[in-house]
Amino acid sequence: MSSQQIIRQIGKSCVHASAVGLGTWAIGGWMWGGTDEQASIGAIEASVDAGISLIDTAPAYGLGRSEEIVGKAIKGKRDKVVIATKCGLNWHSGKGNHFFDQDGKPVHRYLGAEGIAHELEQSLRRLGTDHIDLYITHWQDPTTPIAETMAVLEKLKAAGKIRAIGASNVSTQDLQDYVAAGQIDAIQERYSMIDREIEGSLLPIARRNDIATLSYSSLALGLLSGAIDPAREFTGDDQRKDNPRFSTASRQKVARLKQAIAPIAAQHQASMAQIVIAWTLAQPGITFALCGARNAEQAIDNARAGEIALSASELAAIDAAIAAHLTALDA
């Protein structure tokens, strides 16, 4: 692993990982217009070679496709990676709370004991490993008390099947219930320059309880990468096609932000995406920033962000640029 990468602890667990993590939602193809397996494997391999150890995936990303691709890419490299995957969205049973349909299959939110046990074994098989480093409840199940879910997860941890416990897409009450039920090491939540709601809700609870926070959509589905031209069109099932944030006007605002922070990027010989990721990692309470990559070039670019240390004055200048340019992106 590159000695320059920032390494951080996942909560109170014994697991440490690179502050920049590879998010593999897009690699699963679902809601991203399909996937190129070889390019995806190349992205994962390039990430690991560049010092990224944290790889985040989930069964729901392509109904197992993302986990399968990750498993192929890390074969022979398991000791170099920290795998985070999830449970709680399943299509093998009708139990729990119906959430959505995917590829004609109903997907339910279910965090009961037998559901978690089944999902874990399937994930271990797809990933080609005997343990998960960070096991995260993907979406919360209103039909199963959190105390029951935590009891199951703690048994799996005691058995060596998982090393740390996390939760995603939680309310403040959910997080408080997890804290009361046992040792939760991480939360995974949407956070970026334009998604900062958790600063006043979840982050204070996480910081008080030594819970790591993994930000997902750190580049706002690629909007903040600086690489999406205002004229680009999205097609197929790409979720950005009808997203108002990707309107021409919104992309023009991002272009103005890019111009405003260009001197800082130049000072660090960095891309806009790298500066955005470095800014994210500098925010109080944000421990890890998950960033998607669909090819080796993007992966290497993201990894470089883990080596950038922004000064207080640079962070203040970026904050001023955000306030000036990233307003009403959803309008």
- DSSP lists the bridge partners of residue 97 as 109
Helix (H, G, I), strand (E, B) or coil at 20: strand
Helix (H, G, I), strand (E, B) or coil at 133: coil
What letter represents residue 141's amino acid? D
The verdict on whether 61 is a catalytic residue reads yes
Please pick, among 61, 110, 135, 178, the residue that the annotation labels catalytic.
61
Instruction: Please tell me the distance from the alpha carbon of residue 153 to that of residue 143, in angstroms, as a whole number.
Output: 17
Please, which residues have CB within 8 angstroms of residue 269's CB and are 6 or more apart in sequence? none
Helix (H) / strand (E) containing 46: helix 37-49
Instruction: Please tell me the distance from the alpha carbon of residue 293 to that of residue 24, in angstroms, as a whole number.
Output: 7
Calculate the CA dihedral of residues 228, 265, 256, 197 and round it to 10 degrees: 80
Structure tokens at 34: 């399909």
Q: Which residues are catalytic?
A: 61
